[in-house]
Structures are given as structure tokens and as C-alpha cells.
């Protein structure tokens, strides 16, 4: 689950914490469980998370741990927040023009001198290559990160805005026929100050082969997924966490690390829906050229 790497900047020692699925993430970040490999100095932090089950700061609109647990797999929560945003993006002129770029990912026609599908116009014109051959264009996979790491002062509405950008972006790319691989992440610095400069939690919530699913994505709409479950991903480490659990990485720091291998990082300061899709389409065009 833990991968320790030296990346980018010479002094940027990084701990990567990986979860294969949302189920794996919640199974291994339960504050009520014991973790044999957890650093002994983190027990107080676990007790703090475990003992504050009725704080709106930690759970936002869900108010309590019980409320959070009851809604984190509720597909209607995300739909209520984002469905209108998805509709508005799909209906916008800007998005419709972007869909024209998706035509480059459909079947390509190549003309050859032998085959079974005759192109009459080319044959009449005397062209030697008048048989049509159809091939599938290569479809790159876009690897997206939803970076939910935020400071103590951001509230539930700020986290909802991340979802309002992420979901329409994913939906738009899939509508265009572009496969997306999506991770729920937290990019932080100095969560384990004695051992690492940066820490990165990665939770795989969608493979390139899977379709978008409101139930799978439901946890990203919950503040508790960050302030309980992500916090616990740091606390259960065999390395000691620092006071305050560090702070979010700045956008320029993430860029210096080449987005940690992601095509795009959607976070609290993310670009708008259509702009994000446009930037991704431009990246895909460069990959294909």
C-alpha cells in the first residue's frame, strides 16, 4: 500500500499511499480498527479522529459520523449537487464545439488498391486506390486526479465545487468517447515531517474500462471522506505524523512534480468545466500528432 519515492526536486522525498478501490480505502481507514504497523506516536491522532464524531467541521452537511456513513455511498447526493451542472455543460455551445474534436477518435478511412468496399467516386475518377478500409483510431486514456486536499478553513461548499468541476469533465470526456481513469487524491506536504516533504494518497475510483457511476463517485461529495478517511490514511502509516497533519501542496508544487503522472489535477482552484475539457482535448491532440 505504501510506496516511498524520490521524485522531482532533490529534497522532495515523497510517500505515496495507494488504495485499489473505494472499498479498499474505507476498509483500511476505519478509525475504530487497530493497525499493527501504525507508528505508536500516531495513536493520539487516531483517538482524536475517532472521538470527534459529531463535528460539522469534520463531516459538513452530514453533521456526524453516522450521517457521513449513511450518505457516502448514496448516489442521490451527487446527483442533487452535480446533475444540473452536467446538463449545462453538455448543452453549452463551447462544449458542443469541443465535441467536434471527438470525431478524430472515430473510425478512419484508408483507401487501398484491393478490398471489398468499393468507393465508386474514386473508381470513376481513375484512382488506383478505390477500396475503402476502416481502422479504429487509437484512443488514449486520460488519467484524472480529483485532489481534495484543503486547509482547515475550507467548508463543505468548497469541496462540492471540486465535484461540480470533476464530474462534468469526466462525463464530457466519456461522451466524446475518451476513456478516463479517475483517482481520488490528497496531495499534502509535511504530514510526516521527520521523514517526508510530501505525501500523496491515491484512491482508484474508476478504471478506463468502467463507466461513470454515481454510487462509486458518491464519497467525493462528502467532507468526511477527507477529514476522516484521508486523515486516517496518513495516521495509519508506520511513520509519525506531525502536529496539524501538515498542509495542502500548492499548485506550483504539484506542477513541479509533473502532476504525479496525471493528465489533469482537479482541485479547489480548478479551471471551469469547459476549459478543463478543452485543455485535455488539446493534450490528447499533441499525443496523437
Tell me the per-residue pLDDT of 4-37, one tens digit each, with 9 for 90 and over. Answer: 665 544 567 899 999 999 999 999 999 999 999 9
Higher-pLDDT residue of 287, 207: 207
264 and 142 in a common domain: yes
Judged against a pLDDT cut of 90, whether residue 246 lies above it is answered with yes
14 and 120 in a common domain: no
Higher-pLDDT residue of 91, 99: 91
Least Cα distance to 132 among 149, 107, 98, 105 occurs for 107
281 and 204 in a common domain: yes
253 and 194 in a common domain: yes
Q: Which pLDDT value is given to residue 229? A: 94
172 and 123 in a common domain: no
Least Cα distance to 228 among 40, 53, 71 occurs for 53
252 and 130 in a common domain: no
Judged against a pLDDT cut of 90, whether residue 207 lies above it is answered with yes
For the segment 198-210, the average pLDDT, to the nearest whole number, is: 93
Q: Which distant-in-sequence residues (6+ apart) come within 8 Å of 36 by Cβ?
A: none
Tell me phi and psi for residue 129, to 5 degrees. Answer: -100, 90
87 and 54 in a common domain: yes
Number of structural domains found in the chain: 2
261 and 143 in a common domain: yes
DSSP sequence for 65-130: HHHHHHHTT-HHHHHHHHHHHHHHHHHSHHHHHHHGGGGGGSPEEEEESS-SSB-HHHHHTT-S--
pTM for the whole structure:
0.81
Characterize 93-105 residue by residue with b for buried, 16 or more Cβ atoms within 10 angstroms of its Cβ, and e for exposed. Answer: eebeebeebbeeb
Q: Which pLDDT value is given to residue 267? A: 83
211 and 95 in a common domain: yes
217 and 180 in a common domain: yes
pLDDT (tens digit, 9 = 90+) per residue, 31-55? 999 999 999 999 999 999 998 666 7
221 and 182 in a common domain: yes
Judged against a pLDDT cut of 80, whether residue 150 lies above it is answered with yes
Q: Which pLDDT value is given to residue 104? A: 56
pLDDT (tens digit, 9 = 90+) per residue, 56-97? 888 888 888 998 999 888 888 888 877 787 777 778 887 777
Pairing of strands 264-266, 141-147: parallel
Q: Which pLDDT value is given to residue 289? A: 46
- Mean pLDDT, the chain, rounded, equals 80
Q: What percent of the chain has pLDDT over 90?
A: 32
Q: Which domain holds residue 50?
A: 2-99+138-288
264 and 131 in a common domain: no
Amino acid at each position: 500500500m505504501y510506496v516511498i519515492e524520490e521524485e522531482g526536486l532533490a529534497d522532495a522525498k515523497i510517500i505515496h499511499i495507494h488504495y485499489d478501490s473505494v472499498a479498499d480505502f474505507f476498509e483500511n481507514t476505519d478509525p475504530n480498527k487497530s493497525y499493527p504497523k501504525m507508528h505508536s506516536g500516531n495513536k493520539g491522532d487516531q483517538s482524536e479522529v475517532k472521538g470527534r464524531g459529531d463535528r460539522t467541521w469534520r463531516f459538513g452537511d452530514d453533521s456526524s459520523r453516522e450521517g457521513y456513513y449513511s450518505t457516502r455511498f448514496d448516489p442521490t447526493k451527487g446527483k442533487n449537487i452535480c446533475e444540473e451542472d452536467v446538463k449545462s455543460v453538455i448543452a453549452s455551445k463551447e462544449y458542443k464545439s469541443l465535441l467536434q474534436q471527438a470525431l478524430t477518435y472515430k473510425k478512419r478511412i484508408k483507401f487501398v488498391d484491393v478490398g471489398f468496399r468499393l468507393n465508386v467516386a474514386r473508381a470513376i475518377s481513375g484512382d488506383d486506390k478505390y477500396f475503402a478500409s476502416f481502422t479504429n483510431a487509437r484512443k488514449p486514456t486520460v488519467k484524472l486526479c480529483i485532489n481534495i486536499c484543503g486547509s482547515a478553513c475550507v467548508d463543505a461548499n468548497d469541496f462540492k465545487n471540486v465535484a461540480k468541476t470533476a464530474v462534468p469533465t469526466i462525463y464530457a470526456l466519456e461522451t466524446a468517447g475518451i476513456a478516463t481513469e479517475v483517482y481520488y487524491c490528497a496531495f499534502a506536504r509535511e504530514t510526516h515531517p521527520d521523514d517526508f516533504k510530501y505525501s500523496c494518497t491515491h484512491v482508484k475510483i474508476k478504471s478506463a474500462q468502467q463507466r461513470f457511476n454515481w454510487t462509486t463517485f458518491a464519497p467525493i461529495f462528502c467532507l468526511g471522506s477527507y477529514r476522516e478517511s484521508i486523515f486516517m490514511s496518513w495516521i495509519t502509516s508506520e511513520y509519525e505524523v506531525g502536529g496539524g497533519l501538515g498542509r495542502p501542496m500548492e499548485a506550483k508544487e504539484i506542477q513541479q512534480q509533473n502532476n504525479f503522472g496525471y493528465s489533469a489535477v482537479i482541485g479547489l482552484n480548478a479551471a471551469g468545466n469547459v476549459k478543463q475539457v478543452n485543455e485535455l482535448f488539446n493534450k490528447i491532440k499533441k499525443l496523437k500528432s
